[in-house]
Amino acid sequence: FLLVTMQVSIMNQRGHLLPCTYNVHTKTFGTETIPGACLCEWTKGFLLAFPPLALVVIWLLVARDLQNKRLFYGLLKQKAILQFTKRSVWLDPLMLFLFFSFLNVIAHVALYYAVLVVKFDDGEEVAQDANVLSAAIRSGPLNVFPARTEHLTTFTHLVTAFIIPSVLIVGFFVLNYDVEKSLVPLSQYVHETGVSADETLRLVVMSDTHCRAILDEPQERWRKNKDDNFEDRCGAVIREFDDVKEYPDEGSITLMDASWAAKLLLDPTLKGSSARLFRVTLSTFLAVSLMMTIILLALLIPDVILCVQKIWVGNYQSAFQLLALSGCIVGVIATARSLGTPLWCQAREVFRRRGSP
Give the range among 41-55, 187-201, 259-273 with minimum mean pLDDT.
Answer: 187-201
Reported as type and span, the H/E element at residue 323 is helix 318-355
> Which pLDDT tens digit goes with each residue over 142-197?
444 443 456 677 777 788 878 888 899 999 999 988 888 777 655 455 545 555 55
Percent of the chain with pLDDT over 90: 26
d(CA 53, CA 98): 7
> Which pLDDT tens digit goes with each residue over 194-228?
555 555 556 788 888 888 888 888 766 666 665 57
DSSP 80: E
**pLDDT, greater one: 6 or 37:** 37
Q: How confident is the model at residue 23 (pLDDT cuts 50, 70, 90)?
A: low
Contacts of 108 (CB under 8 A, 6+ apart): 18, 40, 43, 44, 46, 47
- 32 — alpha (psi -120 to 50), left (phi > 0) or beta? left
Looking at residue 79, what is its pLDDT? 84
| Spans of all domains in the chain | 1-354
Helices (H) and strands (E) counted in the chain, each on its own, are: 15, 2
